[in-house]
Structure 1
């Protein structure tokens, strides 16, 4: 596999992410109940976080401000301002029974250790996994991975928006959900290809 150029990625069709109807913002008890039911029985979840960007020299982020977990057909977004939701997230992220997949996760490990004193378990960094599989020199980010394995273009336009805002806009919800969902989809394709190789042997 070859890493696609930015020009090649721009020529691809948009990533077919989740619609708003499949995205749940977990900021109340009813949403929390729905999230728990869907997430605790999962064996693999797409995982990502968003933090409010910093612009001043020396300014430190107190993120993550939003934590995303995605299944095969739903995404759940947990604002850090909702303690009950964060409690569920920490339970899942520290569980050795649930595989969590994402991109560039070393920073997330550090964030959770500093902010919540939590040691994340059974975390798979697809940037590193795909780098090894493709025999490349550098880790591969989400956008390039989606292009390589799904043949689609993952938009990063919402990356630097205000994730600490009390009310998130629809485009932020979709951006955040689909970052985690993209990781889930990439992992599924990688597992399918690995299984095909094993069957071929």
Structure 2
């Protein structure tokens, strides 16, 4: 397993992730109840956050604007501006029986704890796991990981967009959901190859 070059990544087919019909925005109490009903039975979830970008020197981030959790089939986006979404996401992130997998989780976890007072339990940073598997000196990000493990190219078009604005645009919804979706796909692919120890599904 070897980190691909930027040129090699650009030649790969675009990541085949979730469609808009597979992605659920959590805004209301009923949305939150549905998310909990679906996700609480999973043994492992793809996990990521998005924050409003900082443009001015000395400006302090208000913390994550969006929390994303995904299964192989669907993703739920939790905008932190909605109390019901924040409460449901916090409940899932605190569950010790659900493993949350993603990239660069140290910063995500610190922001959630510091800005939103959310406790995150049972996480796995795939950037570090892949670093060890590939014998690399540096951590491996999501784009390189998708290329290495799934032989696809993860789109990054909405990465620097304003996540503090609402409602989210379609390209933001797809980008955010597929960041978390690609993480769970990578973890499960590595598990099936015997390269990563993952919990079996609780269903």
- On whether the aligned pair clears a TM of 0.5, the verdict is yes
Structure 1 position 42 matched with structure 2 position 55: no
- Write the distance in 1 (CA, Å) between the matches of 2:134 and 2:195: 16
Aligned to 1:120: 120
Whether the 8 Å CA contact 2:26–2:79 is kept in 1: the answer is yes
Q: Secondary structure at the match of 2:107?
A: helix
| Match status 1:28 vs 2:18 | no
1:191 is aligned to 2:166: no
* TM-score, structure 1 as length reference: 0.95
Give the number of aligned pairs: 197
In the TM superposition, what whole-angstrom CA distance separates every residue of 1:44-67 from its partner, at most 9, and x where no partner exists?
000000001011111111120000
Q: Which runs of 5+ in 1 are unaligned?
A: 197-201
Structure-2 residue corresponding to 1:11: 11
With 144-153 and 89-98 compared, the bigger mean Cα shift is at 89-98
Partner Cα separation in structure 1 for residue 117 and residue 81 of structure 2: 17
Which contiguous aligned blocks of 4+ residues in structure 1 show a shift greater than 6 angstroms? none
Hey, what does 1:149 align to over in structure 2?
A: 149
Note the C-alpha offset of 1:195: 6.6
Equivalent residue number for residue 171 of structure 1: 171
Q: Give the aligned partner of residue 72 of structure 1.
A: 72
* Cα separation, 2, equivalents of 1:195 and 1:54: 37
Aligned residue number for residue 99 of structure 1? 99
Is the aligned partner of 1:55 residue 2:78?
Answer: no
Q: Distance in 1 between matches of 2:116 and 2:57?
A: 25
Task: Go from structure 1 to structure 2 and tell me whether the alpha carbon gap of 1:72 and 1:117 turns closer, same or farther (over 3 Å shift).
Answer: same
**2:199 aligned partner:** none
Q: Distance in 2 between matches of 1:30 and 1:117?
A: 23
Tell me the equivalent position of 1:199: none
Partner Cα distance (1:71, 1:102) in 2: 12
Structure 2 gaps, min length 5: 197-203
Deviation of the 1:134 alpha carbon: 1.1
3-state SS, counterpart of residue 194 of structure 1: coil
